[in-house]
Structure 1
Amino acid sequence: MTELTVGVEEEFLLVGPDGSLVNQGPEAVAGVTDVDLKPELLRCQVESATGILRYAEEIRDELAALRARLAAGAAEQDALLIAAGTAPHQQRDISLIGPGTRYHRIARHVGPFIFSGVTCGCHVHVGVEDTATALRVANSLRPWLPALLAMSGNSAFHDGTDTGYASARHVLWNRWPTAGAPPYVDSVDEYEEIVNGLLASGAAMDRKMVYWDVRPSEAQPTVEVRVSDVMGTVEEAAFVAVLVRLLVSDALRSTEPPPRVPTEIIRAAQWRAAKGGRSASVPDPATGALREATSVIGDLVSAHTDELRASGELEFVRSTMTWLDHNGDGAHRQREAHKNGGVDAVTTMLATQTSAVCRSGRRGTTSA
């Protein structure tokens, strides 16, 4: 099988020294043409996208370089760049829409709730042949969504309060009528029927607003996994990208139909994952029995030891898992920072780790 290609999109927040959201996102990326940096739905957000990559080291290094560019642009606007699924501080006004006609149409279409819970995610794209293949892969990945979400929780605080969740972003984001775990889809025709129904209902303004946690991308020939919070460090983001690539590889190799797990069960398991983070018990995709998410992911890595060794990624994957065991997920690190200095310390910690060099000491360079 041809080596799979990967791309990663990350969304970020711009905040001031007091933790309030700063509306200079478009200005922070203005004039950048050599890499893919752009404004997001709200002016307090920015987004980066890697090029077409394959392996953990190049993913990590390119993400680090993109974050460095965004952090520098934020600094020029007297702002800090933070990688967090939600804004930790209580906010006064975040009601400024980003540039672009489509963003303003979305705001009018959805209404005021769009401002009440700004969220940032990490989206992993893996190259596939066509929409039919993307749908087959999506069916296979549905049972894995809770475990992937559990590994990425990085939004414990929202509006100045500890939410009690590892991923408050997941809860807030699922207010959108087209968000969450997708249905099991048997064919492209069925997919088109569902999408057309969502458009006809008004729940989706256009095809890009089918915000399922795994979906065929409308922009490129990829399957897109959108279940994760934006993660605090580039190592975590690269680690999850590798996990997604392994799962897509398994789906493409499999000759067995994926299990038809009811969407309601997957959504319930995702709630467990959002609540507990890495320590959450989620359904094992193979058996349905509840197991700790870290054990489920550990077994996935063990099953691909030879493949990861051959690609030169095994040491990176193992070292990242060990680091997470010692330091916890993003939500845990936020709560540890809060113990030492309240919400201000959470924001300071987030800004520091967002633009930190890789643990290897390398910031990396962007790919051509």
Structure 2
Amino acid sequence: MGSAAVMAEDGLTVGVEEEFLLVGPDGRLVRSGPEVVRATDDEPTGDVQEELARCQVESATGVCTDVAELHAQLRRLREELAAKAAARGLRLLPSGTPLLEESRPAGITPRPRYRKMADHFGDVATAAATCGCHVHLAIPDRATGIAISNHIRAWLPVLLTLTANSPYNYGGDTGYSSWRYVRWALWPSAGPPPMFESVDHYDDSVGAMLRAEAMLDRDMVYWDIRLSEKQPTLEIRVSDVAATAGEAALLALVVRGLVALALRDIENRRAAPLLHLEVLRAFLWRAARDGLGGRCPNPLTGELVSGDALPALLADHLRPVLHGEDRSFVLTGLDTLRRSGGGAQRQRAAFAARHRLTDVVDELTGNALLPENPEWTAETSTVPETNR
């Protein structure tokens, strides 16, 4: 990421990348990503970058140490991108997949690396217009990053369940809550990470995939958890882009809590949960299908639990490492999701009123410009006493 997290003396620092689609007044994709990115070159907040598809833009926060700073940066970046898009008659769409039927492909951003990817991977690349949210957490070294990955990988289905925000794709309901995750899994280097024995094991696996040309460079390590190639961070990349900046901040704090718990376990020499890759892949399929509106495997037991019960389960698990404003924000955010539903549920609810996907586009694009519900702020916690 442009400004990655680094280890701070007072705790784990965090940074967030978000990918967005650009649509016109009719809600259909517009190939103006490079132009919008160039228009933001003079903006001071974070970084804005091009993406593989010409209809996409990506933002990256700076290094953040607390929730207020992170949430503010996420909101400002969305507002800046939305304003630059609006100046061209466009809208910023925070959805994991395109909603409306399109008459032509999304188009590849004209950069040599992207053209090479399109030539090599064909429709896997050229049909890719999916948007995720990536969280970077500071790590002291790569070996610790591998150990953290082993400890938190069982929680990947929970993270996907919480953030599923792509039920529609090119004009139809896919039957999934995160079609982005299903679609992204077509890349040969994507999916859940294995349990790695060491940094050498990680590097040997990456090297073998490079030799097979299943990826063209190390930046194409697309596992749901990966070591950053450029920064001292661990990147968790399982999630759809969030409908709101508050949900993106919530995801980042939840990930930071899971990493903090993993570091405690590593220090106390507790073994990472043993979850075979094929089982984890199945759990992620279930999470992508159901989102918060269905059921998700409990990472502690493997049993299916209701999406309604998942926020409370996660809050209880994270409680030992939540303090101050982080605690208030996470508990409030999880309770808000329990009551209002996840992104996929809200998309379907917006469609149900008049059976128009343009209504869903209107609601999502409005989220990038309108003030957020005050429940997302740490200062106005509305969590019931039973959940505190």
Task: Please report how far the alpha carbon of residue 306 of structure 1 lies from its aligned counterpart in structure 2 after TM superposition.
Answer: 5.6
1:130-156: CA deviations, max 9, x gaps?
111111111111100001000001001
In the alignment, the residues of structure 1 paired with residue 310 and residue 178 of structure 2 have an alpha-carbon distance, to the nearest angstrom, of: 19
For residues 24-103 of structure 1, the aligned pairs below 5 Å read 24-31=32-39, 32-33=41-42, 34=44, 35-103=46-114
The one of 206, 223, 246 equivalent to 2:257 is: 246
1:14-34: CA deviations, max 9, x gaps?
001112100111111214143
Count of matched residue positions in the alignment of Structure 1 and Structure 2:
362
1:24 and 1:77 in contact (8 A); partners too: no
In the alignment, the residues of structure 2 paired with residue 293 and residue 251 of structure 1 have an alpha-carbon distance, to the nearest angstrom, of: 24
2:314 corresponds to 1:287? no
The one of 176, 185, 189 equivalent to 1:174 is: 185
In the alignment, the residues of structure 2 paired with residue 261 and residue 199 of structure 1 have an alpha-carbon distance, to the nearest angstrom, of: 26
- Relative distance call for 1:303 and 1:269 in structure 2 (3 A) is closer
1:141 and 1:214 in contact (8 A); partners too: no
2:230 corresponds to 1:216? no
Give the TM-score normalised by the residue count of structure 2.
0.89
Aligned twin of 1:332: 345
Task: Please report how far the alpha carbon of residue 361 of structure 1 lies from its aligned counterpart in structure 2 after TM superposition.
Answer: 9.6
Q: Comparing 213-222 with 97-106, which one deviates more in the overlay?
A: 97-106
Task: Please report how far the alpha carbon of residue 296 of structure 1 lies from its aligned counterpart in structure 2 after TM superposition.
Answer: 4.2
In the alignment, the residues of structure 2 paired with residue 187 and residue 294 of structure 1 have an alpha-carbon distance, to the nearest angstrom, of: 37
2:273 corresponds to 1:259? yes
2:130 and 2:180 in contact (8 A); partners too: yes
Aligned twin of 1:20: 28
- Relative distance call for 1:307 and 1:113 in structure 2 (3 A) is closer
Task: Please report how far the alpha carbon of residue 229 of structure 1 lies from its aligned counterpart in structure 2 after TM superposition.
Answer: 0.2
SS, match of residue 224 in structure 1: strand
SS, match of residue 265 in structure 1: helix
SS, match of residue 325 in structure 2: coil
1:206-256: CA deviations, max 9, x gaps?
011110001111121111000000010111111111110001111111121
SS, match of residue 223 in structure 2: coil
1:15 and 1:80 in contact (8 A); partners too: yes
2:311 and 2:338 in contact (8 A); partners too: no
In the alignment, the residues of structure 2 paired with residue 201 and residue 346 of structure 1 have an alpha-carbon distance, to the nearest angstrom, of: 41
Aligned twin of 1:116: 127
The one of 140, 144, 147 equivalent to 1:133 is: 144
Task: Please report how far the alpha carbon of residue 312 of structure 1 lies from its aligned counterpart in structure 2 after TM superposition.
Answer: 1.7
In the alignment, the residues of structure 2 paired with residue 134 and residue 99 of structure 1 have an alpha-carbon distance, to the nearest angstrom, of: 34
Q: Which amino acid aligns with 1:165?
A: Y
Greater relative contact order (CA < 8 Å, ≥ 6 in sequence) = 1
1:86 and 1:120 in contact (8 A); partners too: yes
Task: Please report how far the alpha carbon of residue 282 of structure 1 lies from its aligned counterpart in structure 2 after TM superposition.
Answer: 2.7
Give the TM-score normalised by the residue count of structure 1.
0.94
Task: Please report how far the alpha carbon of residue 297 of structure 1 lies from its aligned counterpart in structure 2 after TM superposition.
Answer: 4.1
In the alignment, the residues of structure 2 paired with residue 210 and residue 126 of structure 1 have an alpha-carbon distance, to the nearest angstrom, of: 17
2:106 and 2:129 in contact (8 A); partners too: no
2:247 corresponds to 1:233? no
1:25 and 1:74 in contact (8 A); partners too: no
1:64 and 1:355 in contact (8 A); partners too: no
Task: Please report how far the alpha carbon of residue 200 of structure 1 lies from its aligned counterpart in structure 2 after TM superposition.
Answer: 0.5
1:284-330: CA deviations, max 9, x gaps?
2222222235534423322443642x332222222222322222111
For residues 338-349 of structure 1, the aligned pairs below 5 Å read 338-341=351-354, 342-349=356-363
In the alignment, the residues of structure 1 paired with residue 128 and residue 102 of structure 2 have an alpha-carbon distance, to the nearest angstrom, of: 10
2:311 and 2:337 in contact (8 A); partners too: no
1:162-215: CA deviations, max 9, x gaps?
111110101100011111101110111111110000000111110111100011
Task: Please report how far the alpha carbon of residue 122 of structure 1 lies from its aligned counterpart in structure 2 after TM superposition.
Answer: 0.1
In the alignment, the residues of structure 2 paired with residue 91 and residue 305 of structure 1 have an alpha-carbon distance, to the nearest angstrom, of: 45
Q: Which runs of 5 or more structure 1 residues have no equivalent in the other structure?
A: 364-368
SS, match of residue 135 in structure 2: strand
Aligned twin of 1:323: 336
Aligned twin of 2:371: 357
- Identity over aligned pairs, percent: 42
Q: Which runs of 5 or more structure 2 residues have no equivalent in the other structure?
A: 1-8, 378-388
- Relative distance call for 1:172 and 1:283 in structure 2 (3 A) is same
